[in-house]
Amino acid sequence: MNGTARPPRPTPRNTPRASPMSAPDQPAPTGLSALRQRIDDIDAEVHRLLIARSEIIDQLISVKRTGEPGAAFRPAREASMMHALVERHRGHLPLVTVEHVWREVISTFTWLQAPYTVHVATGDAAETRDMARFYFGFTVPFETVAEPADAVAAVARSTSDLAVVRLGEADTAWWAALSADGAAPRVIGRLPFIAVADRPVAIPAVVVSPPLKDPVKPEVAVFACRGPADASAHAWLRKRGVEVIAWHAPWGHHTGAVGAELVIAVPLDDQDESTAAEATAERARDAGIILADLRPVGGYAAPIEARPQRP
Ligand X SMILES: O=C(O)C(=O)C[C@]1(C(=O)O)C=C[C@@H](O)C=C1
**Whose Cβ is closer to ligand X: residue 110's or residue 128's?**
110
What is the torsion angle, in degrees rounded to the nearest 10, for the CA atoms of residue 223, residue 227, residue 229 and residue 232?
-100
Q: Is the dihedral of CA 181, 195, 162, 201 positive or negative?
A: positive
174 phi/psi in degrees, rounded to 5: -65, -15
Question: Residue 158 has what DSSP assignment?
Answer: -
Q: CA 192 to CA 185: how far, in whole Å?
A: 20
In the complex, which residue's CB is closest to ligand X?
Answer: 109
Secondary-structure breakdown of the chain: helix, strand, coil percentages, each rounded to the nearest 5: 35, 20, 45
User: By the 8 A CB rule, do 168 and 190 touch?
Assistant: no
Alpha-carbon separation of residue 221 from 17, 71, 111, 216, 258 (angstroms)? 53, 21, 26, 12, 21
**Whose Cβ is closer to ligand X: residue 28's or residue 112's?**
112
Which residues lie near ligand X (CB under 6 A)? Answer: 60, 64, 72-74, 77-78, 106, 109-110, 113
Q: CA 22 to CA 27: how far, in whole Å?
A: 10
Alpha-carbon 26 to chain mean position: 47
**Whose Cβ is closer to ligand X: residue 28's or residue 57's?**
57
Shortest gap between Cβ of 57 and ligand X (angstroms)? 8
Shortest gap between Cβ of 71 and ligand X (angstroms)? 9
Q: Where are the beta strands (DSSP E) in 51-204?
A: 118-121, 142-145, 162-166, 168-169, 186-191, 194-195
Shortest gap between Cβ of 26 and ligand X (angstroms)? 43
**Whose Cβ is closer to ligand X: residue 214's or residue 286's?**
214
Q: CA 204 to CA 198: how far, in whole Å?
A: 15
Shortest gap between Cβ of 214 and ligand X (angstroms)? 8
Q: CA 273 to CA 187: how far, in whole Å?
A: 14
Shortest gap between Cβ of 56 and ligand X (angstroms)? 8
Shortest gap between Cβ of 44 and ligand X (angstroms)? 21
**Whose Cβ is closer to ligand X: residue 148's or residue 299's?**
299
**Whose Cβ is closer to ligand X: residue 78's or residue 161's?**
78
Shortest gap between Cβ of 43 and ligand X (angstroms)? 21
**Whose Cβ is closer to ligand X: residue 41's or residue 58's?**
58
Other CB atoms within 10 A of residue 172 CB: 13
